[in-house]
A and B are shown apart, each in its own frame.
Chain A
Amino acid sequence: MSNVRTAFRQALVLALVALLPAVVSALWHPKRPDFANQTRDHEITVAAAMAHRADYLWIDARPVADYERGHIPESLSLNEDQWMDLLPSVLQVWPTGKAAIVYCDSRQCEASEHVARRLREFNVAPVFVLKGGWDAWLAAQKK
């Protein structure tokens, strides 16, 4: 029993000793990975998207009320709340082969991922998600 206690205590000490450099590395290491800012598959940054803005079909996946308050110019509204009502308008103006970019509020919202996944099923063209969404687009306009 005392062996188990000793082993447990030593393991705990080792874990605590390892924790300190791990925290220091995570916070201050010059080559630490930028986990929060990594680009996921099928994600496109505002800078990359804006370089050829007219070459994409823009889809706003936020609620219609948010879209009406402001949206990326020429974007179309399409969200899962009103999928069946809004989808026909998108399909009718979406040229074959023209990639679409879907966005929602920010990186925390999942609406753009859901909408993009469903749009890919139509096999019209590649569908991307705008990294950082509407918030990132607004921030880019202020620069």
Chain B
Amino acid sequence: MLRLLTAAWFLFAVALPPLHAELKWDTQKIDLNPLPTDATAEAKFGFVNAGKTEATIESVKSSCGCTAPTLAKMAYAPGERGEVTARFDIGERRGVQAATIRVSVKGEGEPAVLTLNVTIPEVAKVMPPLLMWGPGEKPEPKTIEVAAVPNQPMRVVKVTSSTPDFEVRLETIEEAAKYRIVVTPRSIERVGFAVLNIETKINAGEKVLRAYAQVRSNSPGASGIGGAPLAALPPRPASAAEIEPALLAWDQGGAPTPKAIMVRAPAGGSAKVSKVTSSTPNFETAIETVKESGECRITVTPKNTEKPELAFLSIEVDSGGGPAIQRAYLQITSPAK
């Protein structure tokens, strides 16, 4: 009896797929590693019609606009080979990108799922990618570092600003490895925004990287760009206190242990926290002065961590120019990724 059951189980497991699929794929998953300068990457998913009747492909659909799948024809005789060509448009994408292609065959239930994983390599690291000057800040130079990634020498040949409101200067720290871009706003009196085009050369060719420079105002919409009307939460001026970290997180179901947020005075300034309120009642807060010269600790304790939740703290802090509200965020997340 046991032998019979075992044999039946194996037969069931082995015999089931052919009953549902006429197309037999060489592979259903392809990993691509294009060069940093490539604009597209292409994969070919070969198949054969392993059935006894003609296979008619009804549709080939991609999960995203980044991948264009094509087929030479839609009908395949028994034993005939074919292939789905998937062209991945790299464009301005970065990192590991996954796309799936669903191939539906007439008369078959579930479509075949083809997976394309594309790993787009970095040309270089640009840190920080955005420089900001706040109100009250002096128009002093700030720097961006452009560093080559391991095993790929890179040269920065030119840096230009999209507007004359920012002056840019390129310095070489280490030839073919590390560069510094010094950016200085010409004026801090009015808002300004510039795209910094960083022209690089690597073995595979040329690539333009981007960084951004911005003089911020108290009014988010004041830059004159057609953004949506936003709730008035003023940008943090340079004279504002530093809040570290800006986000505290607890695992759902984990211990509701107290965690701390430090509020520190800006250089040459002060910071006194007068009040802290949470947007939800699940978080208790306590303020403690660490240094009279301008360092406070806010201890946050969740009452429970049973449900996922997101809340924010309104921190009333006086950095010398009167009380202002600054924000920090609290989250209870599931431990599962």
Q: Hey, what's the 0/1 contact readout for B302-337 against A, CB within 8 Å counting as 1?
A: 000000111010000000000000110101011011
Chain B interface, number of residues (Cβ within 8 angstroms): 58
A88: which B residues are within 8 A, CB to CB? 193, 195, 212, 225
For A49, list chain B residues within 8 Å (CB): 310
Tell me if A48 and B309 are in contact (CB < 8 A): yes
* CB of A12, distance to nearest CB on chain B (Å): 6
A92 touches B214 (CB 8 A): yes
Q: Within the assembled complex, what's the spacing in Å between the Cα atoms of A54 and B233?
A: 10
Let me know if A75 and B329 touch, CB within 8 A.
no
Say yes or no for B268: interface residue by CB 8 A criterion: no
> Given A40-B336, A55-B231, A80-B93, do A94 and B98 touch, yes or no (CB 8 Å)?
no
Measured between C-beta atoms, what is the minimum distance from A118 to chain B in Å?
A: 7
Which bracket fits the contact residues of A?
A: 35 or more
The stretch that binds A, out of B32-40, B129-137, B254-262, is B129-137
Please provide the chain B residues from 190 to 215 with a CB less than 8 Å away from any CB of chain A in the complex: 193, 195, 210, 212, 214
Residue on B with the closest CB to A13? B2
Given known A40-B336, A84-B210, A123-B130, contact A93–B225 (CB-CB < 8 A): yes
B residues less than 8 Å from A13 (CB atoms): 2
Shortest CB–CB separation between residue A80 and chain B, in angstroms? 5
A99 to B130, CA, bound (A): 17
Q: Are B193 and A97 in contact (CB under 8 A)?
A: no
Q: Which residues of A contact B129 (CB under 8 A)?
A: 121-122
| B334 CB contacts on chain A under 8 angstroms | 38-41
Q: Does B128 contact A (CB under 8 A)?
A: yes
Hey, which chain B residues are within 8 Å of A38, CB to CB? Answer: 334, 336
- The distance from the CB of B251 to the nearest CB of chain A, in whole angstroms, is 9
B113, chain A: closest CB distance, angstroms: 12
Whether A95 pairs with B220 at a CB distance below 8 angstroms is: yes
Residue contact B98 to A110, C-beta cutoff 8 Å: yes
**Is A76 interfacial (CB-CB < 8 Å)?**
yes
Contact with B247, one of A55, A90, A110, A126 (Cβ below 8 angstroms): A126
Are B130 and A122 within 8 A (Cβ)? yes
Residues of A within 8 A of B333 (CB): 39-43
User: Which A residue sits closest to B90, measured CB to CB?
Assistant: A80
> Which positions in B face A, CB cutoff 8 Å?
2, 6, 9, 63-66, 89, 91-95, 97-98, 128-130, 132, 134, 193, 195, 210, 212, 214, 216, 220-221, 223, 225-231, 233-236, 243, 246-247, 249, 252, 279, 308-310, 312, 326-327, 329, 331, 333-334, 336-337
By Cβ-Cβ distance, the 9 closest A-B pairs, closest first, are A93-B227, A54-B231, A39-B308, A83-B92, A96-B236, A96-B235, A74-B228, A38-B334, A92-B223
Binding site for B on A (CB under 8 A): 9, 12-13, 16, 33, 35, 38-45, 48-49, 51-52, 54-55, 57, 63, 74-76, 80-84, 87-99, 108-111, 114, 117-118, 121-126, 128
Given contacts A48-B310, A83-B91, 4 further A-B contacts (CB under 8 A): A39-B333, A40-B333, A91-B212, A128-B310
